Chain A
Amino acid sequence: MSVHHCGDFKQTYADDMKVMQTRFIQVCIGLFVILLYVFPYLGSNYHVSVMNKIGIAVIGAVGINIVTGFTGQISLGQGAFLGVGAFACSYFMREWNIPFWFAMPMAGLTTAAIGMVFGSPSLRLKGLYLAIATLAAQFILEYLFLHVDKVTGGSNGVMFPSPEIGSFAFDDDRSMYYLILTVAIIGVLFAVNLFRSKDGRAFVAVRDHYLSAEIMGIHLFRYRLLSFAISSFYVGVAGSLWGAYTQYITPEHFTIHESIHYLAMIIIGGLGSVLGAIFGAIFMTLLPFVLTGVTANLADYFPQAGYFIQSLREGIFGLIVILFLIFEPDGIAHRWRLIKAYWKLYPFSY
């Protein structure tokens, strides 16, 4: 059982394509997953609720990374798509009496359909123009959230029924934790495997050089739409889980800020890397808690500065994003690879 292969001596393609290359890695990841599942017994309620937020963010960030990180199409509409998922799921459950377990995938499909509608300009547009088209999607959907009262309850929002199995309801942090964790693990596994498949490779080819990709016979429009669909499905599921977790949804939550938040996650974590999306989701979810802690402490020492520090919080968020982009443009995932390489090569620096 070796920690890491020290060279490249694989003899079959199957060997080369393995997700977990050595038994050590298998054991580590297995232990980590078990640790995640026993976590509610170790941590307090507060910790579990933070973990829930991270879990939902991981699903959403992996989703947006598929369209932006892997296929290279900037999407500024994630916040609204999250809302589509949440409102659709709640509508299916309230009006059509569909249990959560079917409503959640249906909400995912609904979001995927809407994502494809707003992704369809990608037939003729790319890069920046497409980014702006998705920005339009954000504002149009926000308007619909506020004005299609039957589905969304307008500015008052709607209740979100809790998921149930028989008579057991997922209505507290700990039970939701298991639901979110399970969906997040399935989502991450699917994404990791997607990029070992033909479609995933096609996404990367479209991103890296779309003309070459087209020459090689990749149907650009088809794959661009497909990436929008898969990504929106993830986001829709994340939205449903968010609704189930908060039990009450209003349009307020699904603004452009949420879109920017998700974009920041994958950029800080690392574009085009599933691990990066996870790191980014953890970082960006923990950041407000850390900032709140720091500002609360500072406010104790400098009472009159409390107001300033409070209003500077958004600025600190922006500053961290800027500094990350200037000094660590490839994200946390890249730093993580460097750290791993350091220990692999130690004591040699090359």
Chain B
Amino acid sequence: MEFYVQLIVSGLVLGSIYALVALGFAIIYKSTSVVNFAQGEFLMLGAYFCFSMVVQYRIPWLWAFLLTLVFSVVLGLLVERLILRPMIGEPIISIIMVTIGLSSVLKSVVTTIWGTQIQIYDPPLFPDAPVNIAGIPISQVYLWSMGLSLLLLALFGLFFKYSKAGVAMRATAFSNQVALSMGISVKNIFALAWCIAVVVSSIGGILIGNINGINISLGHFGLKVFPAVILGGLDSILGAALGGLIIGVLENLSDGVLKSLFGLQGIKEVAPFVFLVIILMVKPYGLFGTKEIERV
């Protein structure tokens, strides 16, 4: 029993970080209809930047965290302005390819600056000592990470629902032209979407870096997020959050169960994608995605 609870808890933690990254992904897709294959690299870059601040320059955590956020905003603005804006109006495959190109640029920047060894936050952001909840020991890092991601998700949910910028973003997502004619600067909204996406990915990177350490394979997170966003529906923020949590739990459970029952290795890497195929077959537009109606 405890084994399964542990699996579910660590699945939820992983899932909440998936949810954060998926949120960034969905924001970009929703307001600019760009599919961002470089989401995982943003996460990695954020984690490494914070690592530099904390470990190499010995800046206190709070300041390092804020500096990372500033860095993420600048990165988001630069990427949007230099790379994505010239691509407006190009076919979808070109835009996918440009983000793939961006991901390999970012990856090589990271390996150039920080090398390929695994790095560890020292001092860690959260203490590692486990606390007992209903008789089951759960690491504090897990609790903090999950709490922080859920808080952020809730904050962004409120932002989209009530703030002026959030409403403008939803309007842009609905139709660029209508938004323009209502006096919303679509360009600014695009830039804002990229900034938010990079910021939430960076935070996700810092959280996951606290749990597993930082290395170059963090970029894979960007690909693992696809099942989450597809499950939730590509253009739904709530869907991204729920999808992330569900995929995280499913991934951990199937990994743990299949390993203990059949001795299968490495299910973790592939399980989300098997679910992805099943979801696509059963519910192509996900749980909350907009269903396109077409008739001949």
Contacts and interface: CB of A to CB of B under 8 A. Distances in A.
Interface of A: 68, 74, 121, 124-125, 127-129, 131-133, 135-137, 139-140, 142-143, 146-147, 211, 214-215, 256, 260, 263-264, 267, 271, 308, 311-322, 325-326, 329
B104 interface: yes
Nearest to B276: A136
Interface residues of B, number: 43
B102 interface: yes
21 contacts: A121-B284, A127-B92, A128-B92, A131-B35, A132-B230, A136-B227, A137-B277, A140-B274, A147-B265, A147-B266, A256-B223, A260-B104, A271-B91, A308-B112, A311-B112, A315-B108, A316-B108, A319-B105, A321-B101, A325-B87, A325-B101
* B contact patch SS: helix
Contacts of A127: 92
Contacts of A140: 270, 273-274, 277
Nearest to B29: A128
B83 A322 contact: yes
B280 interface: yes
A322 B277 contact: no
A321 B98 contact: yes
Given A135-B273, A140-B273, A319-B105, 11 more contacts: A121-B277, A128-B35, A132-B230, A135-B226, A136-B277, A136-B280, A147-B264, A256-B223, A311-B108, A311-B112, A325-B87
Contacts of A139: 223, 269-270, 273
A267 B86 CA distance: 16
Contacts of B35: 128, 131
Residue among B273, B274, B276 facing the most chain A CB atoms (10 A cut-off): B273
Nearest to B89: A329
B281 interface: yes
B270 A128 contact: no
A325 B105 contact: no
A159 to B, nearest CB: 24
Contacts of B296: 211, 214-215
A239 B108 CA distance: 28
Given A127-B92, A128-B234, A325-B97, A143 B108 contact: no
Interface of B: 35, 83, 86-87, 90-94, 96-98, 100-105, 107-109, 111-112, 223, 226-227, 230, 234, 264-266, 269-270, 273-274, 276-277, 280-281, 284-285, 294, 296
B105 A318 contact: yes
A326 B87 contact: yes
A321 B100 CA distance: 9
A125 B107 CA distance: 31
A319 B101 contact: yes
B114 to A, nearest CB: 10
B237 to A, nearest CB: 18
Contacts of A264: 97, 100-101
B94 A329 contact: yes
Nearest to A331: B94
B11 to A, nearest CB: 19
Given A121-B277, A124-B284, A260 B100 contact: yes
A260 B100 CA distance: 8
Contact of A143 (B105, B226, B270, B280): B270
A315 B103 CA distance: 9
Contact of B281 (A121, A137, A316, A318): A121
A267 B97 contact: yes
Contact of A133 (B97, B101, B269, B280): B280
A212 to B, nearest CB: 9
Contact of B105 (A74, A135, A271, A315): A315
Contacts of A143: 266, 269-270
A47 B210 CA distance: 49
A313 B104 CA distance: 10
Contacts of B266: 143, 146-147
A124 B292 CA distance: 11
A319 B109 CA distance: 11
A135 to B, nearest CB: 6
B105 A129 contact: no
A217 to B, nearest CB: 10
Contacts of B270: 139-140, 142-143
B277 A326 contact: no
A313 B94 contact: no
A321 B112 contact: no
Nearest to A135: B226
Contacts of A133: 276-277, 280
Nearest to B100: A260
B234 A318 contact: no
Contact of A318 (B102, B226, B285): B102
Nearest to A73: B93
Contact of A132 (B93, B111, B276, B294): B276
Residue among A136, A263, A267, A314 facing the most chain B CB atoms (10 A cut-off): A136
Nearest to A117: B277
B280 A322 contact: no
A68 B100 contact: no
Given A135-B226, A215-B296, A321-B97, A314 B280 contact: no
Contacts of B294: 211
Nearest to B101: A321
B112 A125 contact: no
